[in-house]
């Protein structure tokens, strides 16, 4: 039987996962030659229900070979008790009702749109054009690093706001002078901001997406994500014009990496946006609509690419759209690695 076949058959999936990991990485002894390929198998002994079970596992073709009476010791799923006809009918009606509400409902019993947020402050974020998480995943760990990064950005702004222009010129990253101050501008530019609006926008995205990403990746990987996303953003920005003498500042480079990681790790989380709707001049007002995180990220990537192309010939300041794309790249790589590890462990 294959490993995947045993996973589907057994009610003890952790035992099957442990069996495969032990054969590949843990303690095992050489076994007989596989009956399906010429490679030698690994003989693994694991406790099952208090008694040792010895199995031969082929790492090459992922086969498990059972001796007589061994397969019978693998616990099977218990058959589910069938619900009475009346209960099944009620469940079916509930599913139909939910689907009808999804298609035609767009409204909850309290009269609010299903796309609208629950808390009052989120309406202010919507008015400012910010996305709002509707069904945010539970944060697994206290996001100390995310909070620390936000406080660092805020502290740097308070220290430099009186002479912001001077601070940006002195400590911003300039592609034409990338090695000035011993290369410290690579780091200092990530925490400088050009104004209050610039700061608030970046802090909002950092706080609503960073806590979940930090909980998913762990602190070390999260710090590496922030560092490499920031450096990648500056590298891509330099590609636009390596001779530019305009300082580049802001945390949006490494925040782009956080956004990318969030969209891949939590693709089904709904993000809601507020828009002004006017239909044939007779029905207008603010309305909410929501899209899954993966779709919002694709729209964001498309927009960054379009704007990077349009601003390619611009010699003045403004938003570094190519830096956002560069910052997103490490986030995509880390998130894909996380999803691959999840799939391998399942």
Q: Which of 55, 51, 59, 58 is nearest to 70 (CA)?
A: 55
Q: Does domain 121-266+295-345 have CATH number 3.20.20.10?
A: no
pLDDT band of 1, cuts 50, 70, 90: confident
pLDDT per residue over 279-308, tens digit each?
444 455 567 778 889 999 999 999 888 887
For residue 278, the surrounding DSSP H or E stretch is strand 270-279
Percent of the chain with pLDDT over 90: 26
The secondary structure of the chain in percent helix, strand, coil, rounded to multiples of 5, reads 55, 15, 30
What average pLDDT is seen over the chain?
82
Kindly list the domain boundaries of the chain, sorted by start residue: 3-73, 121-266+295-345
DSSP state letter for 107: B
32 membership: H or E segment, kind and range = strand 29-33
Please give the Cα distance from 116 to 290 (Å, whole number). Answer: 8
pLDDT-derived band of residue 78, with 50, 70 and 90 as boundaries? Answer: low
225 and 257 Cβ atoms separated by less than 8 Å: yes
The string of pLDDT tens digits covering residues 35-71 is 888 888 888 888 877 677 888 898 888 888 888 888 8
Q: Distance (Å, rounded) from C-alpha 288 to C-alpha 63?
A: 52
What's the pLDDT tens digit per position in 113-133? 555 666 667 777 877 888 888
């Amino acid at each position: 039987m294959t490993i995947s076949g045993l996973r589907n058959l057994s009610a003890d999936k952790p035992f099957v996962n442990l069996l495969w990991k032990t054969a590949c990485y843990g303690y095992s002894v050489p076994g007989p030659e596989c009956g399906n390929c010429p490679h030698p198998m690994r003989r693994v002994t694991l406790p099952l229900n208090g008694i040792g079970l010895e199995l031969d596992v082929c790492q090459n073709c992922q086969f498990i070979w059972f001796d007589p009476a061994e397969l019978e010791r693998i616990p099977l799923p218990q058959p589910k008790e069938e619900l009475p006809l009346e209960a099944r009918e009620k469940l079916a009606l509930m599913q139909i009702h939910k689907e009808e509400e999804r298609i035609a409902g767009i409204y909850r019993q309290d009269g609010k749109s299903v796309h609208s947020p629950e808390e009052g402050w989120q309406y202010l974020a919507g008015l400012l054009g910010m996305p709002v998480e509707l069904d945010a995943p539970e944060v697994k760990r206290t996001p100390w690093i995310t909070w620390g990064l936000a406080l660092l950005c805020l502290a740097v702004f308070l220290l430099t706001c009186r002479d912001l222009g001077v601070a940006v010129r002195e400590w911003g990253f300039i592609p034409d002078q990338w090695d000035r101050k011993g290369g410290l501008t690579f780091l200092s530019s990530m925490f400088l901001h050009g104004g209050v609006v610039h700061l608030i926008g970046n802090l909002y995205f950092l706080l609503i997406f960073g806590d979940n990403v930090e909980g998913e990746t762990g602190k070390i990987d999260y710090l590496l994500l922030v560092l490499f996303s920031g450096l990648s953003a500056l590298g891509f920005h330099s590609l636009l014009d390596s001779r530019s003498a305009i300082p580049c500042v802001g945390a949006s480079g490494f925040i782009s990496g956080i956004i990318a990681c969030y969209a891949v790790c939590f693709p089904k989380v709904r993000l809601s946006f507020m828009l002004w709707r006017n239909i044939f001049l007779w029905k207008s007002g603010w309305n909410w609509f929501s899209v899954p995180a993966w779709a919002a990220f694709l729209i964001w990537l498309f927009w960054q690419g379009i704007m990077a192309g349009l601003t390619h010939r611009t010699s003045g300041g403004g938003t570094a759209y190519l830096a956002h794309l560069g910052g997103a790249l490490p986030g995509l790589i880390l998130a894909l690695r996380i999803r691959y590890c999840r799939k391998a462990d399942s």
